[in-house]
C-alpha cells in the first residue's frame, strides 16, 4: 500500500459498526464512448457482514448476464476503503455516514441507493429499564466509539433528557457486545440485527426496549426515515459503464424483494456466506427494514440524517453534509 493511500485511510477511518479481487478495468475505459452500452468483463461488489449484503448473495447465485460478478465480504471499514481507493471494487455497500465521509475527503464516489432503513435497538435484561431515561446511573454497551450506533445513541440519550455522564457508555465491537450479553455479563446494550435476534434467542431475559427507527420518527417527524446503509459506486466506473450501474441496481432491487418474499431461502444463502444460522436471519427479518431507494430519491432523508449526525460529531460525516453531487443521478 502506498504512503499516500495509508495517509488518506488514516484520515478517513473511524471504528467500524455493525454494523460491508481485482478491479474490473473501469479506469482504462473511463470517458471512452466505446465502453458505453456494454458491460465490463467483471464487476466487483464489496459487502459487509450484515443484512444489506443478503441481496448480493442472491445476485451471485443467479449471475449477472453478460459479465462475471465477484463478491468480496469485508470485515472493517478500513479494508473496504482501501479496496475502494485502489479501484479494486466497483460497488461497495457501506454505512451512509462513511460514504459521506469518503465523499467529503474527495474520494470519487456517488451514493447509488439506500437499502437499510433501521436495524438498531436498545436491549436490556433489567426489568426497570423501560425507557431511555431509565438508563440513568447505569451502564450501556455500544458499538465502537464514533460509529453510527454510538452517535445515534448519544443523539437519543440527549433527546430524552440525559446529559453526558448520566450513563456510563462502554464501547466494544457489536459482535463482542452480543456475546457479552449472551454470557450474562452485560445488562443494557445497543445492537443491530441480526445480532439482536441471536441475543434474544440465547438469553431468555433479554428484551427489546426501544426501536431506534421509531424513536427517530418521534423526534424528526412521523414520515422521517433512518437511512443507515446503501451502495456507493466509483464514479470512474459509472462514467465508463452506465449500463452496468443500471444492471447492478436492478438486480439488487430484485434480489432484495426476493429476500423479503422468501426469507427461509434467503436464510440458506446467509448461512452459507456469513456462517450465521439461517433461523437467526429469518427471525431477524421481522425487525430489519430493507427497502431499495435510488440515491437521488433518498436525498431528503439522507441529508436530514447526516445533518443530525454532524450536530453531534462533524467528523462522522467528513465535516459537512455532502452537496447534491453526492447522489447518483437517476
Question: What pLDDT is recorded for position 34?
Answer: 45
Report the chain (330 residues): mean pLDDT per 10 consecutive residues. 46 40 35 59 94 94 95 91 95 95 96 96 97 98 87 93 95 94 97 95 97 95 93 97 96 96 93 91 94 96 94 89 94
Neighbouring-strand partners of residue 94: 230
Torsion angle of the four alpha carbons 242, 244, 246, 247, in this order, in degrees rounded to the nearest 10 = 160
pLDDT of residue 236: 96
Number of other residues whose CB lies within 10 A of the CB of residue 300: 13
Query: What is residue 251's predicted lDDT score, i.e. its pLDDT?
Result: 97
What structural domains and CATH numbers belong to the chain? 3-117+226-326 (3.40.190.10), 120-220 (3.40.190.10)
List the beta strands (DSSP E) in 185-310: 188-192, 207-211, 229-234, 290-294
Q: According to the model, what pLDDT value does residue 151 have?
A: 86
Three cell numbers at 244? 452496468
Q: How much is the pLDDT for 184?
A: 96
Q: What is the DSSP letter of 185?
A: -
pTM of the model: 0.85
Please give the helix or strand (H or E) that residue 168 lies within, else none.
strand 168-171
Q: What is the pLDDT of residue 37?
A: 56
Amino acid at each position: 500500500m502506498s504512503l499516500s493511500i495509508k495517509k488518506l485511510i488514516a484520515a478517513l477511518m473511524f471504528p467500524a459498526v455493525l454494523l460491508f479481487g481485482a478491479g474490473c478495468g473501469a479506469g482504462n475505459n473511463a470517458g471512452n464512448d466505446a465502453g458505453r452500452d456494454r458491460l465490463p468483463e467483471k464487476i466487483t461488489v464489496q459487502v459487509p457482514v450484515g443484512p444489506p449484503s443478503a441481496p448480493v448473495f442472491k445476485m451471485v447465485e443467479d449471475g449477472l448476464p453478460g459479465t462475471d460478478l465477484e463478491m468480496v465480504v469485508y470485515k472493517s471499514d478500513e479494508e473496504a476503503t482501501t479496496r475502494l481507493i485502489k479501484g479494486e471494487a466497483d460497488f461497495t455497500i457501506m454505512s451512509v455516514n462513511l460514504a459521506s465521509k469518503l465523499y467529503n475527503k474527495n474520494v470519487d464516489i456517488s451514493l447509488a441507493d439506500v437499502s437499510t432503513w433501521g436495524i438498531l435497538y436498545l436491549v436490556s435484561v433489567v426489568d426497570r429499564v423501560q425507557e431511555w431515561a431509565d438508563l440513568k446511573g447505569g451502564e450501556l454497551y455500544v458499538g465502537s466509539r464514533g460509529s453510527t450506533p454510538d452517535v445515534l445513541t448519544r443523539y437519543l440519550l440527549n433527546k430524552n433528557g440525559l446529559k453526558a455522564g448520566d450513563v456510563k457508555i462502554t464501547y466494544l465491537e457489536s459482535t463482542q457486545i452480543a456475546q457479552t450479553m449472551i454470557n450474562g455479563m452485560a445488562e443494557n446494550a445497543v445492537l443491530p440485527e441480526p445480532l439482536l435476534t441471536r441475543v434474544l434467542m440465547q438469553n431468555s431475559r433479554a428484551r427489546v426496549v426501544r426501536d431506534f427507527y421509531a424513536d427517530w420518527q418521534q423526534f424528526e417527524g412521523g414520515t422521517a426515515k433512518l437511512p443507515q446503509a446503501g451502495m456507493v459506486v466509483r464514479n470512474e466506473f459509472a462514467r465508463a459503464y452506465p449500463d452496468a450501474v443500471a444492471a447492478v441496481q436492478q438486480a439488487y432491487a430484485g434480489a432484495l424483494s426476493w429476500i423479503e418474499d422468501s426469507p427461509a431461502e434467503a436464510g440458506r444463502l446467509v448461512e452459507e456466506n456469513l456462517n450465521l444460522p439461517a433461523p437467526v436471519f429469518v427471525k431477524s427479518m421481522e425487525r430489519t427494514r430493507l427497502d431499495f431507494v435510488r440515491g437521488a430519491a433518498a436525498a431528503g432523508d439522507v441529508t436530514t440524517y447526516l445533518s443530525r449526525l454532524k450536530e453531534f460529531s462533524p467528523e462522522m460525516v467528513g465535516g459537512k453534509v455532502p452537496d447534491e453531487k453526492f447522489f447518483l443521478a437517476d
